[in-house]
């Protein structure tokens, strides 16, 4: 007899809608929906999606206790034996929701897992409470994510205890487990050191964290004479988005002339950014890119001048490596133009 599994997905993968439906209350549908159909195929008859919980990302993040109760109630109602959530890829709020779903089920004693991109904020919040497998940064990786999740889920359902993260492929959970070795720690450490000196492969028992740090630059000495530039990850672009900057996981940025423009108006500018309610940004793009405020400061003599070009991209799901590369490129251009400081705005 096939194991019964509950599947958690958001409004987009549930076929309800996009960002405009992010406040959608949760609902339960019998059987598989959306990516659940692929899960059923990958599970090969050994398990099946008994019911699907669909919930708007905003609603889940804002009503966590309610959604957690719904998950445990649904598990009981369908007599399910496991829960799978997502995959969430690099969608931040969806990652938080999937992490909540999987950790809630695991806290109730149910085998559970989810999957997301390594930079998804849901990973750091929920990795200790649930098994989380790695994915690509967008849904193009669905074909690889689902089979891997299905195989891992079947292992959990069979009662097998997963090995270490490096062997099994899930993200490290930060959970300490007592392990016994025939050699004492000093001997193991010397053995690893000798292998490192010789250039041989070795596996550390405690991987040190790597922190990305940026040394702050000195403050601007005289703002009243300084040229200030605007850069934004809030996606403010000329009407029509001429550079086709993606709403999520951007692959490029744009440089746009504002000349002596005093104000960003809705008939000339818009936001290309997904992942937040665009209404207020589109009504007045200055809310994200404060050209009007800086023009006033320029008029009052508080700054020297506002640079004639601004740079824009989308921070929603954009890889850190791309963001770093673009920051270096933009910074070099502005420095060559004599810009003394940059105001970086987000959403």
What is the C-alpha separation between 165 and 171, in angstroms, rounded? 6
Question: Which residue would you say has higher pLDDT here, 262 or 213?
Answer: 262
| Mean pLDDT along residues 145-172 | 90
Under the banding of pLDDT at 50, 70 and 90, the label for residue 114 is very high
pLDDT at 214 over 90: no
Q: Which domains does the chain have, with CATH numbers?
A: 3-168 (3.40.50.2300), 223-345 (no CATH)
For residues 99 and 125, is the Cβ–Cβ distance under 8 A? yes
Backbone angles phi, psi at 78, to 5 degrees: -95, 5
Rg of the chain's alpha carbons, rounded to an integer?
A: 25
Under the banding of pLDDT at 50, 70 and 90, the label for residue 128 is confident
What is the C-alpha separation between 178 and 152, in angstroms, rounded? 23
Under the banding of pLDDT at 50, 70 and 90, the label for residue 34 is very high
What is the C-alpha separation between 107 and 333, in angstroms, rounded? 51
pLDDT at 249 over 80: no
pLDDT at 265 over 80: yes
Residue 2: partners with Cβ closer than 8 Å, 6 or more residues away? 43, 45, 46, 47, 48
What are the residues facing 83 on neighbouring strands? 6, 112
As to burial, measured by CB atoms within 10 angstroms (0-12 exposed, 13-18 middle, 19+ buried), residue 182 is exposed
| Mean pLDDT along residues 150-159 | 93
Residue with tokens 């050994």: 46
DSSP state, residue 234: B
What is the C-alpha separation between 67 and 190, in angstroms, rounded? 50
**What tens digit of pLDDT does each residue of 273-308 get?**
987 788 899 999 999 999 999 999 999 999 999 999
Planar angle of CA 22, 120, 166, nearest 5 degrees: 140
pLDDT of 224 reads 95
pLDDT at 211 over 80: no
What is the C-alpha separation between 12 and 18, in angstroms, rounded? 5
pLDDT at 216 over 90: no
For residues 312 and 300, is the Cβ–Cβ distance under 8 A? no
What integer best gives the mean pLDDT of the chain? Answer: 91
pLDDT of 300 reads 96
Q: Cα 158 from chain centroid?
A: 31
């Amino acid at each position: 007899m096939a194991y019964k599994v509950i599947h958690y997905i958001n409004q987009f993968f549930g076929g309800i809608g996009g960002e405009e439906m992010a406040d959608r209350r949760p609902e339960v549908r019998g059987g598989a929906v959306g990516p659940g159909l692929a899960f059923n195929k990958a599970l090969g008859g050994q398990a099946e999606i008994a019911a699907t919980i669909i919930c708007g990302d905003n609603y889940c993040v804002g009503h966590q206790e309610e959604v957690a109760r719904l998950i445990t109630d649904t598990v009981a109602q369908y007599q399910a034996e496991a829960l799978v959530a997502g995959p969430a890829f690099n969608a931040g709020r969806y990652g938080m929701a999937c992490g909540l779903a999987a950790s809630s089920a695991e806290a109730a004693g149910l085998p559970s897992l989810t999957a997301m991109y390594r930079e998804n904020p849901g990973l750091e919040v929920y990795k200790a409470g649930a098994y989380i497998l790695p994915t690509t940064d967008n849904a193009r990786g669905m074909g690889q994510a689902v089979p891997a999740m299905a195989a891992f889920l079947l292992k959990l359902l069979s009662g097998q205890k997963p090995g270490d993260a490096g062997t099994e492929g899930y993200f490290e959970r930060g959970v300490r487990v007592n392990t016994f070795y025939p050699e004492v720690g000093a001997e193991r450490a010397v053995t690893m050191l000798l292998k490192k000196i010789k250039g041989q492969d070795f596996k550390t028992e405690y991987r040190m964290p790597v922190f990305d740090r940026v040394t702050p630059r000195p403050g601007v000495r005289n703002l009243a004479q300084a040229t200030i530039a605007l850069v934004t990850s809030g996606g403010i672009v000329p009407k029509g988005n001429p550079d086709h900057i993606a709403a999520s996981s951007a692959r490029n940025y744009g440089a746009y002339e504002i000349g002596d423009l005093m104000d960003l108006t809705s008939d000339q500018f818009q936001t290309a950014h997904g992942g937040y309610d665009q209404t207020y940004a589109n009504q007045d793009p200055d809310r994200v890119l404060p050209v009007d405020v800086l023009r006033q400061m320029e008029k009052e003599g508080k700054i020297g001048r506002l640079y004639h070009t601004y740079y824009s991209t989308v921070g929603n799901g954009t890889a850190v490596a791309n963001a770093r590369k673009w920051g270096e490129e933009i910074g070099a251009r502005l420095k060559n133009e004599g810009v003394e400081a940059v105001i970086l705005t987000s959403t």
